[in-house]
Structure 1
């Protein structure tokens, strides 16, 4: 495997790092709810656009049921 080129053919970095936060609550009837946020820490763009960096950001929500 060749790691000399750290970008793919579209100019996106192959490596990313970030922080993830997740919180949830289980109701007394067994239903679960949660929400999360992912904060990208590394610039994933090969080239800068007007000095700006490109980072991943993710917001998630979930529901479930536990027997």
Structure 2
């Protein structure tokens, strides 16, 4: 695996009037993480995240 990774992250959220927070995000890896490619296959990171919270 490569030591370096680069990508784009997108995050969006909403704060409700009662203090609750909800958010969702997506991370798109742009760098091929495999040092040696077999049959032209690339290894990239992909992340989907969701979160909830409360603000005092």
> Which 5+ residue runs of structure 1 have no aligned equivalent?
1-11
Answer 1 or 2: which has greater strand percent. Answer: 2
Normalising by structure 1, we get a TM-score of: 0.81
| Equivalent residue number for residue 65 of structure 1 | 54
1:2-21 CA distance string (max 9 Å, x none) = xxxxxxxxxx0000000000
Q: Which has the higher contact order (CA 8 A, sep 6+)?
A: 2
Normalising by structure 2, we get a TM-score of: 0.96
Q: CA deviation at 1:66?
A: 0.4
Let me know the Cα RMSD of the aligned residues: 0.6
